[in-house]
Amino acid sequence: MKILVTGGAGFIGSHLVDRLIAEGNSVVVVDNLSTGKKESLNSKAVFYNTDICDDEISNIFQKEKPELVFHLAAQISVRKSVSDPIKDAKINILGSLNILENSRKYNIKKTIFASTGGVMYGNASIIPTPETYTAQPLCPYGICKLSVEHYLNYYKNIFNLKYIALRFGNVYGPRQDKNGEAGVVAIFCGKMLNNQDCVINGDGLQTRDYIYIKDVIKGLTIAAESDQTGIYNIGTGIETDVNNIYSTLKTILKVDGKAIHGTAKSGDHRRGSIDASRAQNELKWRFQYDINKGLIETANWFKENNNE
């Protein structure tokens, strides 16, 4: 199958491209390398250094004629969405609309969208939180992701463009940016391996649903093969606090150093984990990596690739 992956040079995208190519697909990648890395990109992929907001996207669709689209490209930083919500909306809403309009125009069979479960539900009263819980994101990043989900539903109802939106928990694993666009696991690994102290925002007891990259890629590929349409949480349903992440990584990497507790960040929710029962029942997806197994693989990768 000919498949287009936006954001295919990024953390999640590059792993997905590797999997798709290994399965025998022809893959086209669109990425402006704002956070993605050319060296992470599979050499067998056709690559366009293009922004999803550009008019050039239409020419790429016309030339490459993809059958399926994985839309992963985004402004990924919650912090940046708070400081510049207009830029965040231009990329995450208007850029997504550019992809959807061309998907409609060129008769794409299905769109798989990388949404968020990590910030979608705000300070939810039900934890783990199911998709049926009212979405109430506390940051512009989450608001934009929710908006795109509504647009996906519109394109499905009006133009019969099939879709699945996957609301990921906090994804971590090899290749994540240790310099801090997102991902406390990668940031801590980078700091520890360079003998630097780690900064924990607030008391460190805030919890998230940490989901390993291999489980996320499995969710994406299953979604592409499924006849289902709709929104699915992809997470473990387990809360893990930041202090636990820190202490576990410190043990795995056998490093000294200490954690410095800084001020809590505004807009952060206190607790979070997502209920993936719908994905388990309808997509037959289940996570395989618990937090300890995933952190060991991740820490070892960062140890081996610390100079990159």
Least confident of 33-37, 62-66, 130-134, 156-160: 33-37
Predicted confidence (pLDDT) per residue in 129-159, tens digit: 999 999 999 899 999 999 999 999 999 999 9
Which part of the chain has CATH 3.40.50.720? 2-172+209-238+274-289
| CB 1, CB 38: distance < 8 Å | no
For residue 308, pLDDT beyond 60? no
Assign 76 a pLDDT band (cuts: 50, 70, 90). confident
For residue 279, pLDDT beyond 70? yes
Assign 180 a pLDDT band (cuts: 50, 70, 90). low
CA-based nearest residue to 220, from 36, 92, 70? 70
**2-172+209-238+274-289 is a CATH 3.40.50.720 domain:** yes
Q: Which two tokens stand for residue 286?
A: 């289940």
The pLDDT score that the predictor gives to residue 290 is 96
Single-letter amino acid, residue 180: G
The pLDDT score that the predictor gives to residue 181 is 59
For residue 268, pLDDT beyond 80? no
Q: Which of 48, 121, 133, 141 is catalytic?
A: 141
Determine if residue 203 is left, alpha or beta; phi over 0 gives left, psi from -120 to 50 gives alpha, anything else beta: alpha
For residue 267, pLDDT beyond 80? no
Q: What is the mean pLDDT of residues 55-74?
A: 98
The pLDDT score that the predictor gives to residue 144 is 97
% the chain with pLDDT above 90: 87
CA 215/CA 209 separation, integer angstroms: 13
48 is catalytic: no
The string over 108-124, giving b where at least 16 C-beta atoms fall within 10 Å of a residue's C-beta and e elsewhere, is bebbbbbbbbbbbbbeb
Q: What is the mean pLDDT of residues 29-55?
A: 96
Q: Which CATH superfamily includes the segment(s) 184-207+239-270+292-304?
A: UDP-galactose 4-epimerase, domain 1 (3.90.25.10)
Predicted confidence (pLDDT) per residue in 211-249, tens digit: 999 999 999 999 999 999 999 999 999 999 999 999 999
The residues facing 163 across adjacent strands are: 111
Q: What is the mean pLDDT of residues 189-198?
A: 92
